[in-house]
Amino acid sequence: MSSSISMNGPIGPSASPRPPVGKLARVDAYAAMQIENLYLKVQNLAVREFLETVLEHQDIRIVLATPIREDGQTRRLLVEAVQPVAEQLQMEAYDCTGQVDAVYVATILLAVDYWMYPFLMGKYDTPFALKRMVDPALLELQKADVKSADAIRACMSWTKYDEEPSWMDWLISRVLRLMGFLKLADF
């Protein structure tokens, strides 16, 4: 598989996400459509239902709907920047693990987790805020598909290191490389 990613539009330190005006800003129709398109890429029904449930949380939608601005203009939404990265990891995961949908979902969750604190400052001051939001849906996924639930936990570092599958080193290196490509740490 090719490891190159084509992205639409510039992204980098000068193209930074900005939190929506007001902490409880509504997600507009375009953003809602982009967010709902995320789960259409998931083939595994149990994982798709998990992602649908997670994406219903208003604060997660606010983070994903955050505009990325460059030169004072909105270029795209954070969801539009994260989706191609998640799709790239999903494609590359075919070579390494059977948990391609879990890798896709975990990539989206990693981006949300990274941006949740800066965008919703004061509301979520703990490092495990996303985990608490996702846990009820993850428990339901556990009942339906143990391997996918375990893979998502491992991808999110919500497991003990000795419980992580052997492909986790590969995944962690890929996520870090692709997140670096997005320059998420520089925003």
Q: What is the pLDDT of residues 110-146, one digit of tens each?
A: 888 888 877 776 676 666 889 989 999 999 999 999 9
**Residue 179's pLDDT is what?**
60
Q: Which residue has the higher pLDDT, 2 or 61?
A: 61
Mean pLDDT of the region 38-59: 94
Residue 48's pLDDT band (cuts 50, 70, 90): very high
Place of tokens 């290191």: 161
Which region among 15-24, 101-110, 143-152, 169-178 has the lowest average model confidence (pLDDT)? 15-24
Closest CA to 78 of 110, 50, 41: 110
Query: What pTM was computed for the model?
Result: 0.75
CA distances from 185 to 12, 118, 160, 177 (A): 10, 12, 25, 11
Quickly list H helices, the chain.
Answer: 29-38, 45-55, 58-64, 78-93, 100-119, 129-144, 146-155, 168-182
Token pair of 115 as six digits? 């941006």
Closest CA to 17 of 82, 77, 84, 107: 77
Closest CA to 92 of 176, 172, 154, 1: 1
Return d(Cα 125, Cα 109) in angstroms, integer: 17
**Residue 43's pLDDT is what?**
93
**Residue 6's pLDDT is what?**
34
End-to-end CA distance of the chain: 29
Percent with pLDDT over 90 in the chain: 29
pLDDT at 56 over 70: yes
Q: Which residue has the higher pLDDT, 33 or 97?
A: 33
In terms of C-beta density within 10 A (0-12 exposed, 13-18 middle, 19 or more buried), how is residue 50 classed?
buried
